[in-house]
Structure 1
Amino acid sequence: MFVAFNYPEASGQIGEMQSSFSTSGYSPTGLTWDGTSLWNIDYSSDRICRIDPETGIELQSFSSPGSQPAGLAWDGTHLWCSDNNSDKIYKVDTTGTVLNSFDVTSTPRGLEFFNGYLWYVDSVLRKIYKINPNSGAVVDSIEAPSGANRGLAFDGKYLWCTDCGVDEMYKIDIARKKVIMIIKSPAAYSYGLAWDGECVWVAGYNSRNICRISVFGTNHTAIIDSFKVSVQYKVTVKNTGSADMNLRTWICKPYESIRQRLDSPIIWNPAPISFVTDNWDQETAYYIEAIAPGVEKTYYWSANVTTYSVRYYIFPDSVGTINDIPENIRQDYTVDGSNYDIYDPVIQYAVSEAVGNETNLYWKVRNIHDYIIEHIYYNMDGRWDSAPVILTQGHGSCSEYTYLFVAMCRAAGIPAKYEAGGHVRQGELPYEDTVFHRWHLVYLPPYGWIHVDTTWDDKDYPANQARYFGGTSSEVFATTMSGGGSYVIFWSYNSFVSAGGVPYNQAKVMIWSDTTTNIIADEPDRFLTEQFILEQNYPNPFNSWTRINFMLPEDDRVTVTIYNILGQQVRQLLKNEFIPAGMHFLIWNGKNKKEIPVPSGVYIYRLSTGKGYIGSRRMIFLK
């Protein structure tokens, strides 16, 4: 089993500030490291300063070659300085003498020098250029990671870049031209960057300081922000038919995870008859009652919660192989499903295109993620099409982005599943969400299950296209975790309703409100039914599997047997087994005791208990 994280030696945790000092100038911009000292530009006085990194004391200074200096780099012997006003890059010695200069495109900002080339950020064209330091000729370029990029630093393998608008630092794989890590910067209006061999230094233009930040460590997650809120999920069903409706309702029970915490007990109103757990371990509250024509019924839960924006720090070279994934996870989360259709030629071809000859597991998944962003666009049309249809039509909702991602991962042999719930706009409380949201998770050893959201990553700029590849938002609360095709809620999430064929209207809403004026009601008394119930199987007719629900008023021993229409026993699902009081279900796969598919036709299932409860119903199996 692959378990080790291999990080370079560094003190502290990823994103942790190791030290900080105020600058002598009022507007620090460009920053570089010469092996022993920091060099920094003070934009307000047009000075280049050499600084003691231990004390922050200014050791030397001289005038910059231009009137609006922005970026600094060190080539081992000399300094390089970019200037916004003249759109030039200057080569200067450590006394300030200009040795060379050349024109560049427009508005050069951050500078870095490594492997014999200069790199600079163009904040207008939003490009990072690699140039020949002798002539200024452009050798290569990559798209800048975001919209307000400033500083650059090279750590020996990856390029780092700041964004002064959101105060973030981006780690860039230059060869692949992809952002692979996002770290929050503690410096306000983060500008210059420098690498000292262990940590990144960042200059804060507005905070007038320089901070040393660890970019290696043993932590692989960080909480970026949190949000305390009161949440209520409500389902209202109205019988619009002319006959009584046997209404069955399942509501997903919220849970705690790395992305959320329950700050109060969940209040259910009315109290559910029981709780049912599906084949993916999703717990649901279960209700059943007869509803007359024209009558509507409402069920809801409410709770105070805290949601978190979580960022994963994933090092691609530290990700293990598929063989390092636990066997039970590989088996359970690589199976096919009706909305995945992983063996369809469209999916098989897409996976071969996306993954190609890639062997690194991180990049296999990342390539699938990026392939989806490139090939479909967001369109909520009220449909939940299968993955091949989604890819063929070129658009989909959040659920369809999820189906496609899970399908392509599973087709590549990589475990994937999904999570779903509600979405809030934090500045608009109280807020009612009737659209909801679904996203996905993938298993990367040794990190485990990693949150991914290709829907929210389908945006402009490389940083925004990587933000939720290993990231969650505090604007989302999850109720549902599934591998797809649940025996209880099928492909739905939050809740599922069955009306036995009677017409009905349904309204679902998640209401978010401030915790000081929350909507949590008193908890009603919990109860269990005093009746013995054997429900009609669902689906019926069926052709692959069907579910049989039954309710016991007390602990009992249960036998459930399947017969054909001639009264011959086909299979026994339970034989005198002890079952506690409450709601339970069984799955029959349409096969006899030898696991051979039975012929199409009418079958009877019969349940009997040691305390004398007996019930039977008919069902239809169609091949």
Structure 2
Amino acid sequence: MIGPKTIRPLTAATIYGIAFLDGKLIAIDTIKGHLLEIDPLTDNSRILNPHQVREFQDVTGLAIAGDTLWLTRGNSVYLCKLSSLGLEHFVTLPYAANGVAVWDSTVYVSCQRLGQILIFDRDSRKEITRFPVPGVGIENLAVSHDTLWVCDRTEQTVYSMDRATGEVIFSVLTPFPSPTGIAVCPQDDQGKDSLYIAYAFEEPYIRDNPNADPNHELTYRDLTFIHPLYYHYEPSKRYALSNGYLLEMSYVEEISPLDEVYLSNVEWRIALPSETERQKVKQVDPIGVPFTEEIVDGQRVAVFKFDSLAPGERHIFGWKALLEVRGIKYRITPKDTDDLPELSAEFQSRYLVDDDDLAMDTAIVRRAAREAAGSETNLLRKMYNIRNYVYDELSYGIKPYIDPPDIVLERGVGSCGEYVGVLLALCRLNGIPCRTVGRYKCPPYAEQQGVPLQPDFNHVWLEFYIPNFGWLPMESNPDDVGDVGPYPTRFFMGLCWYHIEIGKGITFETLTSNGLRLNKEEISIGDLAINHIRFTILKELPSF
């Protein structure tokens, strides 16, 4: 009907609720109070309420049922005829009403403060029942046949719920932050809903101010647009995929030692991107110097060989990879993990031990492991408790080096690598196998296609293992968004398209000389070379 096009209506400042009507998008600009009719093919728009703008300011949710427009503003839900736009009060909640959806005689209203989706009878205006909200943020709604679609701004997630029972069937991550509205297109030939998501947030940019010296200054501006959400649900594998991109990633080392050294018979190993359910490696090419490949614990590794590295000698070497990456979100519940088989001896010896300076024998780490898990015995709930405990105890801060978990817990501040270290220690002490994953995130600017992008930092997260299900991802610190919970779970068993998985469970980069591995106390790779990382977003991947 429309095709994969980002819709950017002119003059819009902050789009929240959206809905389709006869091939056009109806959207509310909540700051200006403009009820917009948008042509999704051309972005052309007109204001439907030129004389009632004030009445439509601060509207957050919007739905269309027949010839009736429904909306939420403040604590109340209103309805009106599209032909007249005279607002009629429907119901008032004790707290702010966020989103609204209507199907036949049933009206769904979301309320973050109540933590509920309230269901009303359209004719009697009486509450029928209510469902718990699936996320922690402000949620907007859309409904289609048997499905209630819930779009959560903080979780950066769209949930597919059974509209009769409130059960979450699956969820998908949105490709952009701060989704503020959701609309359902008519179902396609396969009976699958087509979804469009509105986004609204502030973006930083460099402004050229001729009255200032220097004339460039950092400021912020409103950014709002509407984009199709692609999704593919794999019930047997318990995950759903969402929008993705074709990326080119380059990783290059430049020999530039702080102190000149001589090394003979050198082998420099750099892990290559992994092949996963959400990440497909289309091509890998060498940069600067050819490499051979070897497999380490199932992971591809590039091996660069030098007869020697002498004082004054300079090289650049690395790899360039073409990757297809998508968002992924697993749907596994504590009930699914009640009766699990015992871990194999191999897993216990590899993933329950202190093999990376995790300080698992110190009193502070052991006490934290007991407090984090409490009396919980269910593996998934235990993992969730440990994550929340670490988020309660730590706040995020960048550091040039990584301290062990005992020091990090005592300090209360940690980088992403230190969050991972603490999580690894507490999980392993509680019998949960886990391993480090990472190494970089593509700068999440999907609209900047064909432009070389450089990440500001490297990044690591972890995977934990559930027997019968396999390895599941969990972010280290990005979900730690406030001083206290509840914390979002967008990256608990989920990753967005910009996470690049490289070298699962193995060291990203190692250096050997004459067959002996050099540790960082002898020669640090960071003291020997400068790394250069570049991403280029080539195009958005098509729908499934």
TM range (shorter): 0.5 to 0.7
Task: Identify the match of residue 183 of structure 1 among 158, 172, 186.
Answer: 172
Task: Identify the match of residue 115 of structure 2 among 121, 125, 128.
Answer: 128
For residues 557-581 of structure 1, what are the alpha-carbon distances to aligned partners after superposition, in whole Å with 9 as ceiling and x for unaligned? xxxxxxxxxxxxxxxxxxxxxxxxx
- Equivalence map 1:1-20=2 (5 Å): none
Q: Equivalents in 2 of 1:332, 1:416: separation in Å? A: 9
Counterpart of 1:385 in structure 2 is 403
Q: Equivalents in 1 of 2:397, 2:135: separation in Å? A: 27
Bigger radius of gyration among the two: 1
Counterpart of 2:220 in structure 1 is none
- Equivalence map 1:436-585=2 (5 Å): 436-459=458-481, 465-482=488-505, 505-513=528-536
For residues 174-208 of structure 1, what are the alpha-carbon distances to aligned partners after superposition, in whole Å with 9 as ceiling and x for unaligned? xxxxx9963369x994279xxxxxx99999899xx
**Unaligned segments of structure 2, at least 5 residues:** 1-18, 28-34, 37-54, 64-68, 79-87, 162-167, 185-190, 199-230, 540-544
Counterpart of 2:359 in structure 1 is 341
Code of the residue aligned with 1:449 in structure 2: it is W
Code of the residue aligned with 2:490 in structure 1: it is R
Counterpart of 1:258 in structure 2 is 277
Task: Identify the match of residue 105 of structure 1 among 92, 95, 100.
Answer: 95
The answer (yes or no) to whether the contact 1:28–1:203 under 8 Å persists in 2 is: no
The answer (yes or no) to whether the contact 1:239–1:292 under 8 Å persists in 2 is: no
For residues 125-160 of structure 1, what are the alpha-carbon distances to aligned partners after superposition, in whole Å with 9 as ceiling and x for unaligned? 755359999999xx999896224534699x9xxx98
- How far does residue 420 in structure 1 lie from its aligned partner after superposition? 2.1
Q: Equivalents in 1 of 2:338, 2:498: separation in Å? A: 31
Counterpart of 1:368 in structure 2 is 386
The answer (yes or no) to whether the contact 1:239–1:295 under 8 Å persists in 2 is: no
The answer (yes or no) to whether the contact 1:399–1:439 under 8 Å persists in 2 is: yes
- Equivalence map 1:320-331=2 (5 Å): 320-321=338-339, 323-331=341-349
Secondary structure class of the residue paired with 2:115: strand
The answer (yes or no) to whether the contact 1:432–1:511 under 8 Å persists in 2 is: yes
Code of the residue aligned with 1:444 in structure 2: it is I
**Unaligned segments of structure 1, at least 5 residues:** 1-20, 30-42, 45-65, 73-80, 91-97, 113-117, 173-178, 193-198, 207-212, 517-623
Secondary structure class of the residue paired with 1:224: strand
Code of the residue aligned with 1:368 in structure 2: it is I
Secondary structure class of the residue paired with 2:327: strand
The answer (yes or no) to whether the contact 1:120–1:128 under 8 Å persists in 2 is: no
Task: Identify the match of residue 289 of structure 2 among 267, 270, 292.
Answer: 270
Q: Equivalents in 2 of 1:304, 1:454: separation in Å? A: 26
Residue 152 to residue 389, structure 1, CA distance change in 2 (3 Å): farther
- Equivalence map 1:605-620=2 (5 Å): none
- How far does residue 463 in structure 1 lie from its aligned partner after superposition? 9.6
Q: Equivalents in 1 of 2:293, 2:521: separation in Å? A: 19
Q: Equivalents in 2 of 1:292, 1:216: separation in Å? A: 53
The answer (yes or no) to whether the contact 1:379–1:396 under 8 Å persists in 2 is: yes
Q: Equivalents in 2 of 1:230, 1:100: separation in Å? A: 52
- How far does residue 370 in structure 1 lie from its aligned partner after superposition? 1.9
Q: Equivalents in 1 of 2:247, 2:313: separation in Å? A: 32
Code of the residue aligned with 1:431 in structure 2: it is L
- TM-score normalised by the chain length of structure 2: 0.60
Q: Equivalents in 2 of 1:338, 1:205: separation in Å? A: 42
For residues 401-441 of structure 1, what are the alpha-carbon distances to aligned partners after superposition, in whole Å with 9 as ceiling and x for unaligned? 21122211111111100112222224373023462221110
Secondary structure class of the residue paired with 2:384: helix
For residues 340-361 of structure 1, what are the alpha-carbon distances to aligned partners after superposition, in whole Å with 9 as ceiling and x for unaligned? 2223222222222221122221
Residue 148 to residue 244, structure 1, CA distance change in 2 (3 Å): same
For residues 513-567 of structure 1, what are the alpha-carbon distances to aligned partners after superposition, in whole Å with 9 as ceiling and x for unaligned? 3669xxxxxxxxxxxxxxxxxxxxxxxxxxxxxxxxxxxxxxxxxxxxxxxxxxx
- RMSD of aligned Cα (Å): 5.7
- Equivalence map 1:399-410=2 (5 Å): 399-410=417-428
The answer (yes or no) to whether the contact 2:233–2:239 under 8 Å persists in 1 is: no
The answer (yes or no) to whether the contact 1:247–1:500 under 8 Å persists in 2 is: no
The answer (yes or no) to whether the contact 1:419–1:439 under 8 Å persists in 2 is: yes
Residue 228 to residue 119, structure 1, CA distance change in 2 (3 Å): closer
Code of the residue aligned with 2:115 in structure 1: it is I
The answer (yes or no) to whether the contact 2:71–2:100 under 8 Å persists in 1 is: no
Residue 363 to residue 225, structure 1, CA distance change in 2 (3 Å): same
- How far does residue 482 in structure 1 lie from its aligned partner after superposition? 2.0
Give the aligned length.
427
